[in-house]
Amino acid sequence: MAWLGTHGDPLGDPHAAPKGSSVVEGAREALLSWGWYYANQKLLLGILLAVTGNVVISISLNLQKYSHLRLKCQATPKPFYRSKLWWSGMVLMGIGETGNFAAYGFAPVMVIAPLGSTAVLGSAVISVLYLKEHIKSEGILGGTVTIAGAFLLVAFAPLVTQEPDAIKIQTDLVSWEFLIYAIIGIIAFCILLYFYKRREIKHIVILLTMVALLASMTIISVKAVAAMITLSVEGNMQLTYLIFYLMFILMVVTCVFQMKFLNQAMKLYDAGEVILINYMFFTISAILAGGIFYQEFADTGLLNGFMFFFGCLLSFVGVFILTRNRDKECLTSLYIDHGHIPGKKMEQKIQPESNGLSYGSLFNESNPVKTQS
């Protein structure tokens, strides 16, 4: 049916150039037409799964943070793994990651990966609403920029008409484009691993570059596994091919080593800095993987490509603003302020005893810090 075209006039040839005073107006009209939404149902489903999954992940992270805060306030703190609230966060984390995994079966890689910015945005909103963190003007600016970037990513997403099946994935694995990409990635990873292990250089860029190189292979395998499962559910059985299980093994192995290096970075550097750099590197690796292995830029026009990358840039800037000062707050008083403990109402301030710092001063035995008023 001609009116289902996704480019140009929704009532004419779907491959015709947009009519109107400008290309941008034509693209906007096509975006707002019912034909565009109908023809991109799977794309929109993938985007919805990714956004929902990332929001659930942000809720899980804040639940775990809230659990740790409550445990620290108890007279006899118990291990975090015995907290029901902490385990609730873990369950939600699994649900959110499942949503992200399923999203790769419906939408292009280079659309799903940048939408990880919604997890950062959701975490910031939840922290303000439920963890009583102070809202700042730069937080509002960062959220606005992040939302604008996400909108451009969705509105100008590359149109991918061919779904990867087992035979196509096998063919792409031996294509010269992917072989060159894989060889360069392996060499770069080995060089960085040498500096990390032998020279003991644990700079944040080295750690997160290794994470991004592993993530590139993870993204390729996750997309392949998710797409083959989706096709199998629709009736086109793909699980009988050996390539499905090879991709599944590659996905698990690369995920495990990703977490190893990412946890090392989280131990050595501020969480805000790690989140920002990892998001940028992960998004770049996803775009490269989708463009090279799955040829997701094959049918993308100049305008769509420019606006898509501009949306990525806005997402980077938004995440930078949201994470810039989140881990730079320091203790400036010897008092415990109950107003900053979620679920507690501030009634009074407790003065520490004169003969010790462990009462009322948030004393940390492993790293004592003295503050001056």
User: Which helix or strand (DSSP H or E) is residue 338 part of?
Assistant: none
The verdict on residue 338 lying in a domain is yes
- pLDDT confidence of residue 254: 93
User: Which residue, among 156, 147, 144, has the nearest Cα to 111 in the 3D structure?
Assistant: 156
Residues 46 and 124 reside in one and the same domain: yes
Distances in Å between the Cα of 230 and the Cα atoms of 46, 104, 239 are 12, 10, 10
Residues 140 and 198 reside in one and the same domain: no
Residues 288 and 170 reside in one and the same domain: yes
pLDDT single digits (tens) 159-204: 776 678 899 999 999 999 999 999 999 999 999 999 998 888 889 9
Residues 173 and 290 reside in one and the same domain: yes
Range of the domain at 358: 330-373
Residues 127 and 248 reside in one and the same domain: no
Number of domains in the chain: 3
Residues 172 and 107 reside in one and the same domain: no
The verdict on residue 104 lying in a domain is yes
Residues 177 and 291 reside in one and the same domain: yes
- pLDDT confidence of residue 325: 64
Boundary-marking domain end, from 155, 178, 208: 155
Q: Which residues of 222-242 are buried (b: 16+ CB within 10 A; e: fewer)?
A: bbbbbbbbbbbeeeeebeebe
User: Which residue, among 283, 292, 290, 288, has the nearest Cα to 314 in the 3D structure?
Assistant: 283
| Lowest-confidence region among 124-128, 268-272, 294-298, 336-340 | 336-340
Dig out the tokens for 362 from the structure. Answer: 């948030």
pLDDT single digits (tens) 131-169: 677 778 888 898 999 999 989 988 887 777 667 889 999
Dig out the tokens for 15 from the structure. Answer: 């491959």
| Lowest-confidence region among 210-219, 308-317, 320-329 | 320-329
Any residues with CB less than 8 A from the CB of 325 and at least 6 apart, and which? 136, 138, 272
Cα–Cα distance measured from residue 287 to residue 111, given in angstroms and rounded to the nearest whole number: 8
Boundary-marking domain end, from 128, 155, 182: 155
The verdict on residue 280 lying in a domain is yes
Whether the Cβ atoms of residue 253 and residue 221 lie closer than 8 Å to each other: no
- pLDDT confidence of residue 33: 60
The verdict on residue 151 lying in a domain is yes
pLDDT single digits (tens) 86-138: 788 888 888 988 888 888 888 888 888 888 888 888 888 887 777 677 778 88
Residues 171 and 286 reside in one and the same domain: yes
